Amino acid sequence: MVKTKLHWYELIPVNIYFFGLSGINQTLVPLVLPLLVQQFVGEARQGTYFGILRFWGLMAALLVQALIGIFSDRSKSRWGRRRPFIFAGTVLALLCIAAIGLSAVMEGMLGFWFLLAMYLVLLLSSNIAQAAVQGLIPDIVPLSQRGQASAVKSLFEVPVSVIFVSLVIAPFISRGNIWGGLFVLMGILVITMAITMLVREEPLENELPPLDWQPFLRLVLMTVLFGGAILGMREVVRLTGYIVAGIDSVTLLMVIMGLVGLLAMAVAVVIGVGGSIRISMGDVEDVDRTSFTLWVISRLAFMVGAFNLSGFTLYFLQGRLGYSYQEAVVPGSRLIMFVGISLLVSTLISGWLTDRFGFKRIAIISGFVATAGTLVMLIFPVLPLIYAGACIIGIATGLFYTSSWALGTELVPEGQAARYLGISNLAGAGAGAVGAYIGGPLADFFTVQVPSMPGIGYVLIFVLYALLFLLSSLILMRVQE
């Protein structure tokens, strides 16, 4: 039952578990997984196999979150609809995190396949819990306070989590103590889950209509289409690399592979979004389909850059500044911290800026600013300026999240926001898969073909991410408010 008004401190148990969930991603994706993948497969194949982890993990997580969301909505447990799933998902996630720690003593491809299996189960487990905890705000928080609750959620989920990981967990990993970092992560997960268990849920007693599987089946079709597009474009990049491998000119290789990589990412984004909208919306005419489609494409293009810059940070620093994989953890974690602080600042001022200058205008500016920040990181191989570029990207990302989402809420028909905005969630999940699964093999191609220029492949894919930021802004210019 939704109370008339909640005290401010009651919003904390409703949202604090997002801190634990985000901690998993902020610890594993930029810090732990790149190190383990490099240990198992070597530098020549690290991008490809890191992309495999990200692709299959995100696709599986997307489906299980939707499925568990259906079951959680219909649960009649006396402990409530959400808390049993949060508890079960947390216990399974803790076991998987421990297993990932154990994989650090393994070697070769056996270690990689074990890591992949444990990472997949971890994402399935954490998304069981996430699917449930996302229902707490509409279940518990009155309509008049949902803006406050969402703000608390955003703070726990992004800047607070990013800053905590960089200050507390990253130092353990930088000293080679992966277990120390994972133990802290597991402790945070247990503490945030325990606090969330304090939320008072009322058991569901109303009779429910028969289960409608159509929304989930539509999501399965959307995911298959999106995943198929990404797989196909990856093969285009791989085959192109095979064809041009004999070219001696590094500049020509960069131009050819860069254009093919950019085209592959763009095609995956457009096909994924266009097909998803067609499957989800059918032939309805209650929304400006062109503007809505362009908005989702713009959102996905920006997220491909934002999500994957962090995922490949360690590899980029190794190649650009000559660090060993262990040495890169310290500057990598500091970079993440600076991004987190920048995100916090820009998130706090984004509401005022969008109200004053308009959602669309701020979203367009964000893409240009993120492009500039990425170029600073690329042009100046000096650590302080790389940090400065990362801060610029963080500011742009905070502004984009607020302004782009607000713009989307204006484009959808009243009373059907959940249906249409749900498509953008598929875009968010697909961003990591597009950038890593296509970008990873592209970077590895240059590691093999141009061993005298280490890291040049990661410089190239960072250029592609900058172009996707730019593309996001250019596409938004065509959206009609």
Question: What is the residue-wise DSSP string for 35-48?
Answer: HHHHHHH-TTTHHH
Element (H, E) at 377: helix 359-379
Residue matched to tokens 């604090």: 16
CA dihedral 358, 359, 365, 370 (to 10 degrees): 150
Q: How far apart are CA 462 and CA 304, in angstroms?
A: 11
pTM: 0.87
Q: How far apart are CA 14 and CA 197, in angstroms?
A: 9
Structure tokens at 430: 């697909």
Determine if residue 342 is left, alpha or beta; phi over 0 gives left, psi from -120 to 50 gives alpha, anything else beta.
Answer: alpha
Contacts of 407 (CB under 8 A, 6+ apart): 295, 359, 360, 363, 476, 479, 481
Q: How far apart are CA 402 and CA 158, in angstroms?
A: 13
Per-residue pLDDT of the chain (481 residues; tens, 9 = 90+): 555 678 888 889 999 999 999 999 999 999 999 999 999 999 899 999 999 999 999 888 878 887 888 788 878 888 888 899 999 999 999 999 999 999 999 999 999 999 999 999 999 999 999 989 988 888 888 877 776 787 788 788 888 898 899 899 999 998 889 999 999 999 999 999 999 999 988 777 777 777 777 777 877 887 888 888 899 999 999 999 999 998 989 999 999 999 999 999 999 988 877 777 777 665 555 555 788 888 888 988 999 999 889 889 999 998 889 888 778 888 988 898 898 899 888 888 887 888 788 889 999 999 999 999 999 999 999 999 999 999 999 999 988 987 887 788 777 665 555 556 656 666 666 788 899 999 999 999 999 999 888 889 999 999 999 999 999 999 999 988 7
Structure tokens at 256: 């050819």
Q: What is the pLDDT of residue 241?
A: 94
Structure tokens at 317: 């620093």
CB environment 453-478: b (16+ within 10 A), e (fewer): eebbbbbbbbbbbbbbbbbbbebbee
Query: Are 381 and 322 in contact, with CB atoms under 8 Å apart?
Result: no
CA dihedral 136, 139, 143, 147 (to 10 degrees): 10
Q: What is the pLDDT of residue 70?
A: 78
Q: Which amino acid is at 198?
A: L
CA 310 from chain center: how many Å? 9
- Can you list the domains of the chain with their CATH numbers? 9-203 (1.20.1250.20), 213-481 (1.20.1250.20)
Q: Which amino acid is at 347?
A: T
Total residues belonging to the chain: 481
Q: What is the pLDDT of residue 424?
A: 65
Q: Which amino acid is at 480?
A: Q
- Report helix, strand or coil for 206: coil
What burial class does residue 120 get, using C-beta atoms within 10 Å of its C-beta: 0-12 exposed, 13-18 middle, 19+ buried?
A: middle
Query: Are 458 and 292 in contact, with CB atoms under 8 Å apart?
Result: no
Give the helix ranges, DSSP H, for 75-158: 83-102, 108-133, 136-140, 146-157
DSSP single-letter state for residue 177: -
Q: How far apart are CA 213 and CA 364, in angstroms?
A: 38
Query: Are 193 and 53 in contact, with CB atoms under 8 Å apart?
Result: no
Q: How far apart are CA 435 and CA 306, in angstroms?
A: 9
Query: Are 475 and 287 in contact, with CB atoms under 8 Å apart?
Result: no
Q: How far apart are CA 125 and CA 28, in angstroms?
A: 15
Q: How far apart are CA 398 and CA 375, in angstroms?
A: 18
Q: Which amino acid is at 250?
A: V
CB neighbourhood size of 35 (10 A): 20
Query: Are 123 and 24 in contact, with CB atoms under 8 Å apart?
Result: no
Q: What is the pLDDT of residue 207?
A: 72
Q: How far apart are CA 401 and CA 428, in angstroms?
A: 11
